[in-house]
Amino acid sequence: MIKEFGKVGVLYGGRSAEREVSLMSGAGVLQALRSKGVDAHGFDTGLRSLAELAAEKFDRVFIALHGRYGEDGSLQGALEQLGIPYTGSGVMASAIAMDKVMTKRIWLSHGLPTPRFKVFDAQMTPPAELHAAVAELGMPLMLKAPHEGSTIGISKVNSAAELETGFAHCARYDEAVLAEEFISGRELTVPVLGKGRTARALPIVEIRAPQGNYDYQNKYFSDDTQYLCPAPLDTERALKIQALAVRAFNAVGCAGWARVDFMLRATDNEPYLLELNSSPGMTGHSLVPMSAKASGVSYEDLCVEILGSAALELHASPDWKAE
């Protein structure tokens, strides 16, 4: 199977706000694949061009990019044009998953639970509209840049006095700001592998960050954040959450792998979908490898499994002929 992969490119780095994390993910994936005998080569899309990517003549690529220009469907479209099979979701699902607002709208259309929300123009929203959102969604309130990840461009607003400052912080990163009802409870995440009917959920990870603040520092660099995997949940509740993760994954049209984030509401233990990460982190602190390990799958074998799922979503029309 390893020989069938041919020459493999590990795409990492990129130009998004998550470049630092992607560099760590890419280094880990590259080392893991090489340790399994894969002819793998690193390729930093932030420093090298698409022409150089085409010239490398990779047989398939592992996308270890996070955020814009790598996780949002733009690179996936380029790879489709180049005819290079790639890991993860296709163009449409990648674009949807990168947009927290569109993801939530699709989940709601499928009857899946997600916190109530409103969307605002980052530059043109008057303060009165923001304060009206507080009256509707309550306090505390989560403000998010809809097209960022890794907790970048997020503010938790605990009082009306913090509202405009929090909004301004999020507006630095995006053209829109998502105001979301705050769900108090336990923070959970569920990796999903596969596609369609073959999609399966891995063990649930519970995240317990210092003071409940799972920010960029606590996510990637702190040793104070606690991770419980499998999460301490009764079997029925765990199976319900895993099934919901697979439904959320399939509703967006994802393939290969992804990670679905939840809040488990403290008042009634009901799960609420927060967002879907279609190209999750693969660093030493990352949650997909942690979950896979709990199910008996090593980091190296996980990388090989994901690479094995690389594919092209689009295929030439049967009537197409080269001139």
Which residue numbers are catalytic?
Answer: 18, 150, 220, 259, 261, 275, 277, 281
Most distant CA atoms of the chain, gap in Å: 65
Question: In 3-state terms, what secondary structure has residue 45?
Answer: coil
Q: In whole angstroms, give the CA distance from residue 155 to residue 20.
A: 21
DSSP code of residue 123: T
**Would you call 224 exposed, middle or buried from its count of C-beta atoms within 10 A (0-12, 13-18, 19+)?**
exposed
Looking at residue 262, the DSSP 8-state letter turns out to be E
Residue in 255, 251, 260 with CA at minimum distance from that of residue 306: 255
Q: 167 near 121, Cβ under 8 Å? A: no
CB 279 within 8 A of CB 70: yes
Nearest residue to 245 (alpha-carbon basis) of 201, 195, 186, 293:
201
Transcribe 191-211 into DSSP letters: EEEEEGGG-EE---EEEE-GG
Angstrom distance (rounded) from CA 247 to CA 271:
13
Extract the runs of DSSP E, i.e. beta strands, from the chain: 7-12, 39-44, 60-63, 117-121, 141-144, 154-157, 176-181, 185-195, 200-201, 205-208, 226-228, 255-265, 271-277
251, 215, 240, 291: CA torsion to nearest 10: 100
